[in-house]
Amino acid sequence: MKKTIISLVSVVIFSLLLQSCFEIKEIIKINKDGSGTFTMSIDMSEVKSMVESFSDSKSDDTGSPLAEMQEEYEATREKLEMIEGISNITFLTENDGYVISTGFDFSNIDALNRGMNVVYEDENEDGTQTEYYMLGKRSFERTLSHNLLEQLKGELGSGDKGIEGMDLSQIFSDVAYLNIVTFTDRKIKKTSSDDIEISEDGSTMTLKRFIFRKDADLSMDYKVKVK
């Protein structure tokens, strides 16, 4: 059975345990007409530095922990290519495979949501599509339809102690998930979350969550007013 992106991410996390300094980024650039670009990236550059520091030589072939994602990606690409409104599908690796990203252009919010269903969920058993984002004339919303971070945390077990009794809040305290949205031709007026940081020019917002810290807020839903 083909593994989902979330399952693969959990395998990577499990394999690294004490090497837990990395970030997962969901990056959206959106135009006023609802078109834009989507990128999901995993950056383990710090892990590479840690691996090299414990190796006898920096030339040692330790292998990328993200290699399995690269091998599994072709089936994901085929599904994305079948979605109307999605184009320019990419899959890129950098830094010897320790930075990996997948992305696409979308023509409207529906295409974005459908593409994200493929990237994050692979497929829904009941055949329905998750509505991650909604776009209005002066509003943008990340919905409650799917809690990605709860799912990611759940892949490693329930509660704070999910891997052989280990305390995930200690092992993975620095694992961060960033939701970054840039409005290419509008400015942000206000947001529903105090945790959202807005850039100086008012066009980009960032919501950062530390997935495994104790009592961490894992909510990804918010509403944004734009002008």
- Token code pair at residue 165: 């009794």
The whole-chain average pLDDT of the chain stands at 78
Least confident of 64-78, 112-126, 202-216: 64-78
Q: What is the pLDDT of residue 124?
A: 61
> pLDDT tens digits for 83-131?
999 999 998 877 666 778 899 999 999 999 999 999 887 556 677 888 9
3 state DSSP class of 6:
helix
Please state the φ and ψ torsions of residue 110, each to the nearest 5 degrees. Answer: -60, -40
- In the chain, the amino acid numbered 171 is I
- Does the pTM surpass 0.85? The reply is no
pLDDT of 20 higher than 70: no
Helix (H, G, I), strand (E, B) or coil at 30: strand
Tens digits of residue pLDDT in 50-63: 555 555 544 444 55
Q: CA separation (Å) from 139 to 52, 105, 130, 190? A: 46, 21, 19, 10
Average pLDDT over residues 132-141: 95
Residue 164 has pLDDT above 80, yes or no: no
Whole-angstrom distance, CA of residue 156 vs CA of residue 182: 31
**Nearest residue to 175 via CA among 7, 8, 14, 40:** 14
Q: Which uninterrupted H or E stretch holds 160? A: none
Q: Is the Cα torsion angle 162, 167, 169, 174 positive or negative in sign?
A: negative
Q: What percent of the chain has pLDDT over 70?
A: 65
Sign of CA dihedral 184, 116, 23, 147: positive
3-state secondary structure of 55: coil
Which pLDDT score, from 0 to 100, does residue 123 have?
59
